[in-house]
Amino acid sequence: MEELTCPTAFHDLEQKAWAFAVQAHGEQRRKYHNEPYVKHLERVAQLVMVYGGTTGMVMAALLHDVLEDTSVTEAEMKAFLEEICQGSIVKPEEVLEMVVDLTDQFTKQQKPGHNRKRRKEMERQRISQTSPRAQTIKLCDIIDNTRDIAEYDISFAKVYIPEIVALLEVLKNAEPFQLYMLACYEVQKAVYRLE
């Protein structure tokens, strides 16, 4: 496994969440530039930090793809969070709730009888009911993913960007509003690129 270094901007609990994510994602790579998957998680978490996210939100950003993309179970993540958050003001159940909120519940494996369009609509409805904190992290995830997809995969962008335009309509509870506007800007840039 490639030698990875935790960004110095992360505090103690965030560093532990980073290490857990690195271990969980193992050799996974980003599709478009073959960098270690954790680099995406770092960018999302750092954007959460820039926009005033709490330590718990930064931890959730670092862990946001673990339940969806690795073999780690919700019970294992809960045990990890309870152990590292002991004696801190961070509530492990709140971090876990954000991670669960950010985990796609309508994947092809979970809903094989539905086409992509229907699954994305069900996910959009579900995420509209999530907490403002989870929606904030989701916006940061959208920003990073949109930048990559628009630059490296125009073919998939033709499918992805309209889905994200629809998703942005239900993420208006995210804070601060400037982050929402940044996400809209990145998506609009991608729309122009498609045209």
Per-residue model confidence as pLDDT tens digits over 121-138:
999 999 999 999 999 999
The string of pLDDT tens digits covering residues 42-101 is 999 999 999 999 999 999 999 999 999 999 999 999 999 999 999 999 999 999 999 999
Average of pLDDT values for 144-156? 93
Taking residue 137's Cβ as centre, other Cβ atoms within 10 Å add up to 29
Residue 182 confidence (pLDDT) above 80:
yes
Residue 5's Cβ-count burial label (10 Å; 0-12, 13-18, 19+) is exposed
Domain ranges of the chain: 12-194
Residue 52: predicted pLDDT: 97
Average of pLDDT values for 164-182? 96
8-state DSSP, 91: -
Name the nearest CA neighbour of 42 among 67, 11, 63.
63
Distances (CA, A) of 20 to 48, 71, 90, 147, 160: 18, 13, 17, 26, 29
Residue 195: predicted pLDDT: 82
Residue 1 confidence (pLDDT) above 70:
no
CATH superfamily, domain 12-194, is Hypothetical protein af1432 (1.10.3210.10)
8-state DSSP, 111: -
For 47-89, the DSSP string reads: HHHHTT--HHHHHHHHHTTHHHHSS--HHHHHHHHHHHHTTSS
